[in-house]
Amino acid sequence: MDASQRTAYGETLVKLGATNKDIVVLEADLGKSTMGSLFEAAYPNRFYEMGIAEANMASVAAGLSLTGKIPFFASFAVFCPGRCYDQIRTSICIPNLNVKVCGSSAGLSDYGDGSTHQSIDDISLMKGLPNMQVFSPVDAVETVKIVEYMVKTPGPMFMRLNRNPVPTLTDEKDVFVPGDVKVMKEGDDVAVFATGIMVSVALFAAEELQKEGISISVINVPSIKPINEKQVLEIAGKAKGIVTAEEHSVYGGLGDVISGVLGEACPKKQVRVAVMDKFGTSASNYPILLETYGLTKDDVVKAVKKVRA
């Protein structure tokens, strides 16, 4: 069953806001899209409409955190962090403030609005900042778990969400532990580390490869930073090769993270499935863009076969 990560984000903040009066939400004229509007309807006195002024929104969120509030501010991922990177860096991360950033409509998922509204570099921007934690949930259920973690845990955090409904792959009983990776399918050949929508894509690829007698592991990586290096090394050590899959630029994302963990400790051949140093474009639907930018099950199949060659 497919479900909306954006709706899960908004509904979870409403639920948690009932008992935690310190939660506040800020929006930059996109609350109906990010679903921050749900919080506005429930708690209008704790909602701040900042207008199309993302840099100001980040600075105000920093100020609110200094009063003991837990501010969540959101926009499309291309605008948050894109338009307020300096404020996130200087006003939030350097003083290590308790501010949460939600980048909605991440990757290519805003398929109709083209390159100006699609984010292929948000992970890269955020993971390079000291003190910042970076999350990319696989589905709506995991989104809920991460929002719950963000509320109860101090410090700057960034979470990217898909604009479109995505397959539900995790269980409500699952516990989110920052840094941990989760094996979604066991295999004895290539290990595919994937994040976001690419986890479900990799699972479809695994079904195709199984028909050819190729058994791959599919690993969900919801926590880009931090990441449990021990888990990654244990999984990679058993594999014949490594594939990473992400709806993000080939530079600065999950592929770089996994490569950095492996390093000399576990040298393995690695192939990356990602956006190959290109900006997005407009399309009539989301699947067309995933196909155009090499983010389909067939692309994962090709990557697995390449790493085995």
The token duo for 206 is 């695994």
DSSP string for residues in 114-154 = -GGG-BSSHHHHHHTSTT-EEE--SSHHHHHHHHHHHHHS-
Residues 11, 27, 40, 54: which is the catalytic one?
54
Length of the chain (residues): 309
Kindly report the number of other CB atoms within 10 A of residue 267's CB atom: 9
Radius of gyration of the chain measured on its C-alpha atoms: 19
Beta strands 241-249 and 70-76 are unpaired
* Both tokens assigned to 227: 């990441």
Closest CA to 306 of 269, 256, 276: 269
* Residue 107 DSSP label: B
Encoded amino acid at 153, one letter: T
103: part of which helix (H) or strand (E)?
Answer: strand 100-104
- Tell me the CA distances in angstroms from 262 to 10, 15, 35, one per residue in order: 36, 40, 38
Spatial distance between the Cα atoms of 187 and 181, rounded to a whole number of angstroms = 15
> Distance between CA atoms of 20 and 173, rounded to whole angstroms?
22
**Selection from 158, 294, 304 nearest residue 240 by Cα:** 304
HEC per residue, 276-304? CCCCCCCCCCHHHHHHHCCCCHHHHHHHH
Catalytic annotation on 264?
A: no
DSSP β-ladder status, 270-275 and 166-167: unpaired
Catalytic residues: 54
